[in-house]
Structure 1
Amino acid sequence: MRVVSEPKLWGLAAEFSTVEAFLSAVEACRKAGYTHFDAHAPIPVHGLDEAMEIKPSRLPKLVFLGGLSGCALGLALQWWTNAVDYPFRISGKPLFALPPAIPVVFELTVLLSAVTAVIGLLVANRQPEFYHPLFELPAFAKGSDDRFFVVVEARDPRFDPRGTREFLQGLGAEAVHPVEVS
């Protein structure tokens, strides 16, 4: 016998139709002290990062370190192969020279930078995410077309189902949808 549990409130999703109302709602959520909220838009919205006070990403530094590692690995590989493991003296040329090593060094720098960028992006965004409670909300399908959503999660310390709903409606939301998870 399968027991069906009652759906649990995961959060509230406020639906907006204009960028201005959406952006002011995001700023109001932040100023009201909400910390577990997110914003979903079908287009890039300039100023959204500042409105949400999102910290700069560490990804560029990681990609730089990945590229630096690739450069060092390429130089070490060329030096080890030509000067240590298989020294081959021809016409008095040096065992290791930088110009012939540049193509390998460049390729490994680019390769490790790209791999670091992809892995860092996936880890930073907690991807791939195969399920999210918002995927079950029928109105959220408009979030990739012409609607903007501000979602406040129930785990937020300031979250109160009734109070948060009234707060979001007071911001000019066209609709406030409960997001449930079973």
Structure 2
Amino acid sequence: MAEPAPGAGLFGMLAEFDRPERLIEAVEKARQAGFRRLDAHTPFPIEGLAERLGFADQRVPLFTLLGGIVGAAVGYGMQVYTNHAFPIDIGNRPLVAPPAFMLITFELTVLFAVLFAIGSMLALNRLPRLHHPLFDLDEFHLASSNKFFLLVLGNDPLFEEERTRAFLETLTPTRISPVEHTEVPE
């Protein structure tokens, strides 16, 4: 594991808000202040929040496309190989009959696309993660019911504990909590 960035003592600083509008406003102000490593936790999806957080990762759809292409090639290639390796001449039909191969080709295209999508999503999100530092905060359970949280991650280049806390206080959150690392870096 790489050395922790500035603010290595903390995983991040968490601000709690009571309304989604306040969270969106806080995200916009944090981005304007120069913070780039932000995360938000809400009890329901908020339209436009991902874009405001700067989330624009398009790798999962690319892996899904790659999986579909690999699946189609495997499905079609498997049938062509089988028919050439074990030829059965029935009524002088051709060994390679593309219309007959489409069902298995389609099925493996879908199967591989789904497997690549799920596998890439898990790998890119570094899942399964059995414990997250936010789970140690007593108030974080409210993220699933009625509170909205903005997390400034400790590996943000601008993260300094006092400076980040002072910035978050200007956003007038309900509460600000430091989030400690719970895993020992290797």
Indicate whether the TM-score tops 0.5.
Answer: yes
Report Cα offsets for 1:122-168 as digits up to 9, x if no partner: 01111111121111000111011111101112332222222211211
Quick check: which has more Rg, 1 or 2? 1
Deviation string 1:87-120 (CA, Å, 9 cap, x unpaired) is 1111111111012211111111111011101101
| Cross-structure match for 2:3 | none
Aligned-residue sequence identity (percent) comes to 40
**Partner amino acid for 1:27?**
E
1:107 and 1:13 mapped to 2: Cα distance? 45
Tell me the TM-score normalised to structure 2 length.
0.88
Give the gaps of 5 or more residues in structure 1.
Answer: 1-7
Cα distance change on mapping 1:153 and 1:56 into 2, 3 Å: closer
Aligned counterpart, 1:168: 168
CA shift at 1:43, angstroms?
0.7
Corresponding residue pairs, total: 174
User: Given the superposition, is the C-alpha separation of residues 93 and 164 from structure 1 closer, same or farther in structure 2, using an over 3 Å criterion?
Assistant: same
**RMSD, aligned CA:** 1.3
Aligned residue runs from structure 1 range 56-71, under 5 A: 56-71=57-72
TM-score of the superposed pair, with normalisation by structure 1: 0.90
- Contact in 2 for aligned 1:21/1:172 (Cα 8 Å): no
| Mapping of residues 8-157 of structure 1, within 5 Å | 8-82=9-83, 84-157=84-157
Of stretches 56-65 and 109-118 in structure 1, the one that deviates more from structure 2 is 56-65
Structure 2 unmatched runs, 5+:
1-8
